Structure 1
C-alpha cells in the first residue's frame, strides 16, 4: 500500500515538473507579399526554452485582421513544432489607488462630504417646518367657523372677529412658508454646487491621466514546441491579413520619331493592418486570395414552352439576340475610351524636362525588381526596403520601367467622328504580368488623357490611342444626287451613296484603317444590297466595312460606297 502511494506521489511530482512552459516574445515584420486584396505578413521572433518538454511560445505584435486559417510556422533549433493557433488576449485594466492624489485634494473631498451631510440635515429641518405650517394652514382653512358653519352667522361681531383672525394667521403662515422656501432653495443650490465640486475632485485621477485606460485586445499566435533539452532559436510565422492591397496604374509615354513606347508599371500600395511596416521587403502579387478557387460545375439545363413574352414599355418585343455593335468593339480594341483631344487644354499638359548627357541620372527603383512566374499569377520581388505606416495612405512602388517596340498607325470612323486618331500598337506583353487598370497617356510630353488597359480582353496586341492627328484630314458626306427612291409594285427601293475623302498633310507616309458600315436587316421583308464598296472588307453579320489605306506625303484619296434598301411601300423604315 505504501509503495502505491509513493508511486502516485512521484507521478504527480513528474507532471508538475513537466508543466508547459510559457514564453511571451515580440515579433517584427520583415517581409510582406501584397495581393490585389489582402497581404501576407512574414514576421520573426527569437525564443529561448530553459527546460525540456513542451513549451508555448506566445508571439505578440500580430495584426488584428489576421486570418487564422492561413497561419504558417517555421522554427530553427532542435525543437519539434507540435501546434500553432491564434488567440486573443484581453488585458485587465491596471488597478488605480489614491496614493497619487495630493493631500489637499483628499482633505477637500472629505470636507465636502461632511458639508453635504450637514446641509442635508438643514434641508430636512426646513422641510419639517414647512410641513408643520402647511398642516396649520389646512386646519385653519377647514375650521367650521371659517367656513360659515354653526351659529357664527347669527352674530355679526363673532363673524367679524373670525374673519380678522383668519386673515391675520393666513398672512403670517404664508410669509413664513415663503421664507422657508427661499431658505430651502438656497440650501439646495449650495448642495448642488458642493456635489459638482465633489464630482470634479473625485475625477481628479481621470482628469490628470491617472485613471485606468481600456487596453486594446492583444492578438497572439501561440506555437507549441517540444524539446529534449534547453533550446533557443528563431520562429518565422506568416499569415494572411485583410485591410491592405495594391492598385495597378500605368504611364505610357511616346515620342513622334522614336518608334517606341515607354511603360511605367506602378503599384499604389495601401495598408491598415494595425502594424507599421519599417524597412520591409515588399513583393507585389497579381493573385487575389479572397477570390473563389473552386472550379464551376455545370448542371442540367432544362427548357420548356413559355406562355409569356417580355415586352418593353412601348409595346415592342425585346429581342435579346441582337447582334453586338462591332464598331464599338473595334474602337475599344484600338484603344478608344476616354482619350482627350490632341489639342487638349494646356492645363492638362505635362512638361518633361530631360537632363543633359553630362548629368548622371539616378537609378530607378524598377531596376531592383525581379519577376517570379507562378502557375496562376505573377509576383514582383522588390529588392528595396520600404516603410509604410498603417494609415491607408497610397505609396507608389515602381514595378517596371521598360521601352516597348510599337507600330504607329492611324484609325478613323468618320460616321461617328470626322477626325483621324493615331494609334500605337504594342505586342509581346505576356511577360510583363499586366492586369486590368487605368493608364495615363503622354505623347511628346503632352498629357493626352486616360484610358483603360485590359489584358484579358485583347489578343496579343495592345492598341493605345494617342489622340487626334490634325495633319491627317477626313471628310464624309452624303451624295444626295445619287440618292434616289422608286416604287416597283408593292415594294419601294431606296438608294444611298456616301463619299469619304482622306488627305495626308504629313511629311511621312501613313497607313490608315478606315471603318464605316451598311445597315443590316433583321427581317426577310427588308432586303439590303451593298454595291460599289471600293474593295472594302465587309463582314456580313455586322455590316462593317473596313478599308486599309496607304497614303504618301501630301497625298489624297476618295472612297465611295453605295447600298440599296428594299421594303414594303406601305411600311415606314427609318434609316
Structure 2
C-alpha cells in the first residue's frame, strides 16, 4: 500500500505516541534537470504498533517543505513538518549506513594489517640472511693444513654467496610489498573519512518529522535549485567518409548542501522552473494619420548624431518582443548506467553519455564581404532521433583540433550547419570597380545609382572543393524606389536563409582554379527624394 502526503488530512488527531524513531535516510536516486534536481531518499521504518513519530535528520538546510513529497510503502503517513531551528534530542543509535561504514573500515584495517605482517615476514628473512653472513665472516678455524683450509674457505664462501643472494631477493620482495601498502593505507583513510562524515554530519541541516503507522519504506522526494547539467560535445569530421562522429558528454554540478554518494543518476531535458503554458496574445490596434513632424535636435545632440553617422529613421517599427530559446518536443531522459558520487559544491563531474554518427556533406563556404578565406562547413540532418541541447563543442578534422564553438539547440530531424575552421588555401577578394568620377564602384545621377561588385575566388589547395559564396545586394520595400540586379553567373538563390537581398552561388572549384562572380545593381528613385 502506498499513501501520499495527502493522507495527513485523513488521519486526523493522532493518539498517544507509541515511540519516537530516529531513521536517517539514504539518497537512492537523483534526476537532474538543466536547472535543478529531484532528490529521492528512502528510509526503512520498523516500529511498534500504533502511531509513531519518525525523525529523519540530515536534510539540507533551507529545504522547502512545499517541494517535499512523502509517501509510504506499507506505511501510513500523517502530518509532516520540517525542523530547522532547535532540533530535538536524537537517540544515539547507529544507523545501517554507519554500521556498514564501520564494517568497511574494519575490513580495510584488517587487510592493511595482513599486508604489514607479510612485509615483516619478508624483512625477517632478509635479516636472517644478513646475520648468517656476519656469523660466517667472523667464524675462526684452527686448521693449519693448507688443503683443508682451502676447502673450508670454499665452503664458507659458497654459504656467504647463497646467504647474500637470499638477502638481496628478500629485500627486493620487501620493497615491493611496502609499495603495495599504499592502496591499503589509502583504503583505510577513505573508509575512516566516510565513517567520520556519517558520524559527524554538518550541523546546519533540517530534520523531517512525520507521524506514521506501520512498518515499511518511507520515500522522501524533494527539489533543489542549485544543481544542473549541461551537454558538451566532441565533433570529429571525416570529409572522405561523409560523416560526423559525435561524442556526447555531460557536465554535472550541485550545491544542494549535502553530498550525493553512490546514487542512481538520471538526466532529464525537462525544465520544471521554466514557463509551463503559452504566452497571452493581446490585441494590436492600428491607426493612420498625418506624419509626425521631425523635431530638430539641439546642437550638441546633432553633433553627436553626425559623429555617429546615424541615419534618420524611415518608419516607425511595430513592437516586437524579445525572442528566447524554448524547449521543443517531448522530454528526453538519459539514465546513467553506473552509480555516481557528486560532492556538494566541490565536484564538477564530466560523464560520457554516448557516441553518434551523423551523415553530412562537407562544403567550403565563404562570405567575402567580411572574410578573405573560405571555411569548412558540415551540413546534414539531426538523424539521432533526439534533440541536441545547446552546449560547447570541440571541433576536430582529421584527428587535429581546429577550434571550439557553441552548438545551438537542434531538434530531431532539423538541419545541421556547423563550421570547422578556415581553409587558408581558398582565397577570396571582393571589389567595386572604380569609375571615371573617382567614386568607388558608383556612377551617380540625380535619381539613379549603379553599383558593381566583383568577387574573385581562388583555389590554391591541392583539393577540389564544392563552394558556396554568400554576398548581398540592395533591396527595397518602397514602390518609388526601384532596384534591379543582374548577376553573372546566376546565383542559386537571392534569399539565402530566408533573408531578402542575401545571395548565394553554388559551384565546384577544382584545385588551382579561379572563378569570378559579378553583380550589377541599378537603383532609381524620384528626383525630389534622397537615397538612404
- Please report the TM-score for the alignment, with normalisation by the length of structure 1: 0.59
Q: Which residue of the partner structure matches residue 344 of structure 2?
A: 390
| 1:73 counterpart = 2:70 | yes
In the other structure, the counterpart of 1:91 is 87
Question: What is the rounded CA distance, in whole Å, between the counterparts of 1:302 and 1:565 in structure 2?
Answer: 35
Aligned partner (choices 251, 264, 268) of residue 285 of structure 1: 268
| Contact kept? 1:254, 1:262, Cα under 8 Å | yes
Cα distance in 2 between the residues matched to 1:502 and 1:510: 11
**Residue range with higher mean Cα deviation, 389-398 or 252-261:** 252-261
1:371 counterpart residue number: none
The alignment yields a C-alpha RMSD, in angstroms, of: 3.7
Q: Of the candidates 475, 481, 486, which is equivalent to residue 531 of structure 1? A: 486
Return closer, same or farther for 1:303/1:492 CA change in 2, 3 Å cut-off.
closer
- What is the match of residue 183 of structure 2? none
Name structure 2 gaps, 5 residues minimum: 1-12, 91-201, 306-310, 319-327
**8 Å Cα contact 1:527-1:567 kept in structure 2:** yes
* Cα distance change on mapping 1:529 and 1:401 into 2, 3 Å: same
Counterpart residue number, 2:431: 477
Closer/same/farther in 2, CA of residues 308 and 450 from structure 1, 3 Å limit: farther
1:39 aligns with 2:37: yes
Residues 1:448 and 2:402 aligned together: yes
Residue of structure 2 equivalent to 1:220: 207
Deviation at 1:28, TM superposition (A): 1.3
The residue aligned with 2:52 is 55
Go from structure 1 to structure 2 and tell me whether the alpha carbon gap of 1:401 and 1:296 turns closer, same or farther (over 3 Å shift). Answer: same
Larger radius of gyration: 1
Q: Which residue of 1 aligns with 2:517?
A: 559
Tell me if 1:512 matches 2:470: no
- Which TM-score applies when normalising by structure 2? 0.63
Residues in 2 aligned to 1:72 and 1:450: alpha-carbon distance in whole angstroms:
43
Question: 1:275 and 1:486, CA in 2 relative to 1: closer, same or farther beyond 3 A?
Answer: closer
Quote the offset at 1:70 in angstroms. Answer: 2.8
In structure 2, what is the Cα distance between the partners aligned to 1:292 and 1:68? 22
1:424 and 2:388 matched: no
* Aligned partner of 1:267 among 239, 246, 250: 250
Find the residue that maps to 1:431 and give its secondary structure.
coil
Instruction: Give how far 1:269 is off.
Output: 1.1
* Count of equivalent residues: 383
C-alpha change, 1:473 and 1:305, in structure 2 (3 Å) is closer
Q: Where do 1:99-498 residues align within 5 Å?
A: 216=203, 218-227=205-214, 232-303=215-286, 314=302, 317-318=312-313, 376-429=330-383, 431-455=385-409, 460-480=414-434, 485=443, 487=445, 491-498=446-453
Change (3 A) 1:516 1:294: closer
Equivalent position SS for 2:225: strand
Q: What does residue 345 of structure 1 align with?
A: none
Cα offsets for 1:60-110 (capped at 9, x unmatched): 221224332232334333x3334444343523899xxxxxxxxxxxxxxxx
- Aligned mates of 1:567, 1:295 — CA distance in 2: 45
Q: Deviations over 1:212-252 (max 9, x none)?
A: xxx9454123333234xxxx332222111122112332222
The corresponding residue for 1:116 is none
Contact 1:65–1:241, Cα closer than 8 Å, also in 2? no
Query: 1:467, 1:66 → 2: CA distance?
Result: 48
- In the alignment, the residues of structure 1 paired with residue 364 and residue 213 of structure 2 have an alpha-carbon distance, to the nearest angstrom, of 71
Q: Against the structure 1 CA distance between its residues 431 and 486, is the aligned structure 2 distance closer, same or farther, given a 3 Å change threshold?
A: closer
C-alpha contact (below 8 Å) 2:232/2:393 kept by paired residues: yes
Q: Deviations over 1:280-318 (max 9, x none)?
A: 121111222211323333344445679978989557654
SS at match of 1:69: helix
Cα contact 1:37–1:245 (8 A) shared by 2: yes
Aligned counterparts of 1:21 and 1:377: Cα–Cα separation in 2:
44
Distance (whole Å) between structure 1 residues aligned to residue 263 and residue 293 of structure 2 = 61
Structure 1 contact 65–243 (Cα < 8 Å) conserved: no
Q: Unaligned stretches of 5+ in structure 1?
A: 1-14, 95-214, 324-373
Deviations 1:440-486 (A, max 9, x none): 22223333332222225998122111111123232322233695736
User: Quick check: 1:531–1:561 contact (8 Å CA) kept in 2?
Assistant: yes
**Paired residue secondary structure (2:59):** coil
Give the direction of change, closer, same or farther, for the CA distance of 1:320–1:433 in structure 2 (3 Å limit). Answer: farther
SS class of match (2:70): strand
Over 3 Å counting, the alpha-carbon distance change for 1:321 and 1:396 in structure 2 is farther
Determine if contact 2:14/2:51 at 8 Å carries over to the other structure.
no
C-alpha distance in 1 between matches for 2:281 and 2:238: 50
